[in-house]
Amino acid sequence: MDMIYVERIVDKPFFEIIDLAKSAITKNGFLVLHEINTTEIMMKFDFEIKELRQLLFFHPEYMKLILEIDPSAVIKVPLKMVVREINENQTAIICTNPIDLFLGMERFHDLSLELSGSTTMILKDVIN
């Protein structure tokens, strides 16, 4: 992975994927902290877009570690997943890449690898 995010396209409808995404996040030990309904927000301003949700997720143990290592690094979290409808039967899943998120922050190397592994498992659980 060499970008700040990882994107996967799946041949499943949006509402099935959003449910799978939230389940996968909690199954892997994280908390869904907030779900932003971007479609609804845009409609309030008379912009019509396909279904789009932003899921913010994290785990208190990782927050504790970040605070112990460098409290200013809290700006890097929570992790984010975007679920975006492409068409009726195709959905994009875009997720933060923790390795690149903490790039250049050597004290977070091990943590970024661990978070990357968790993010990969979450994506696999959504896709499979």
- Tens of pLDDT, residue by residue over 29-41, are 999 999 999 999 9
Rounded to an integer, what distance in angstroms lies between the CA atom of residue 87 and that of residue 92?
Answer: 10
Helix boundaries (H) for the chain:
14-27, 38-44, 60-69, 98-101, 109-127
> Is 60 exceeded by the pLDDT of residue 95?
yes
Residue 50 CB coordination number (10 Å): 13
Rounded to an integer, what distance in angstroms lies between the CA atom of residue 38 and that of residue 84?
Answer: 10
Residue 24 has which token pair?
């996968």
Residues 62-90: tens digit of each pLDDT: 999 999 999 999 999 999 999 999 999 99
pLDDT at position 3 is 61
pLDDT at position 6 is 85
> Is 70 exceeded by the pLDDT of residue 122?
yes
For range 95-116, the mean pLDDT:
93
